[in-house]
Amino acid sequence: MAPAAPKSGDVIFASVDRVNAELFTLTYGAIVRQLITDLEEVEEVNKQLDQMGYNIGVRLVDEFLAKSSVSRCVDFRETADVIAKVGFKMFLGVTASVTNWDAEGTTCSLILEDNPLVDFVELPDTCQGLHYCNILSGVVRGALEMVSMKTEVTWLRDMLRGDDVFELQVKLLKQVPEEYPYKDD
């Protein structure tokens, strides 16, 4: 069946979404640029972006759980799928694929073929060590910590460094058992 013709409201919303996405991308670029100016060392910028992402992640998980109506995941595999398919879609507008699982099911990669954060971005030679999207690794780490999972999140591939995709490795270090807040007795 042919898709329904857009109504005028649809067209307006589509262009508002596009403008919002571009504004978001450009604002993030301005933040990174300012950090480079202020901190001078790309390693420091990487750390700062990760920390900013972590701070966002610990807050954003509530919004995610409320909006998505996702229930408790049975294991880390399911959690990784939820992040890739629901979380990324909700906050970044794209989905990731999940791959490169280790035998224990505690390490995997999230692959992004499309990443709106890097639209219009080209890194100068002086920024080759920059993990421009480090805010995302921090967000994932922070969000997972709030649902009791300590993780290490590392960029393995980066299109700004000439790779064909973005690959974010997520390693589950520790699953902290949740404490029931009341005693039974």
> Is residue 44 a contact partner of residue 125, using CB atoms and an 8 Å limit?
no
Instruction: Output 32 or 139, the one with its CB closest to ligand MYR.
Output: 139
Least distance to ligand MYR, CB of residue 54, Å = 12
Where residue 69 falls (left for φ over 0; alpha for ψ -120 to 50; beta otherwise) is left
For ligand MYR, give the closer residue by CB, 39 or 154: 154
Residue 163, both tokens: 């790779």
Between 21 and 39, CB nearer to ligand MYR: 21
Contact 48, 35 (CB under 8 A): yes
- Min dist CB 148 to ligand MYR, Å, is 8
Residue number with the smallest Cβ distance to ligand MYR: 87
- Report the 10 Å Cβ neighbour count for 12: 11
Binding site for ligand MYR (CB under 6 A): 61, 64, 70, 72-73, 79, 82-83, 87-88, 91-92, 136, 139-140, 143, 147
Nearer to ligand MYR, 72 or 183 (CB): 72
* Min CB(72)–ligand MYR separation in Å: 4
CB distance 135 to 55 below 8 Å? no
Query: Which residue's CB is nearer to ligand MYR, number 61 or number 108?
Result: 61
- Find the shortest distance in angstroms from Cβ 3 to ligand MYR: 28
DSSP H helical ranges for the chain: 8-39, 42-68, 76-82, 88-92, 134-146
SS3 state at 48: helix
Nearest approach in angstroms of CB 89 to ligand MYR is 9
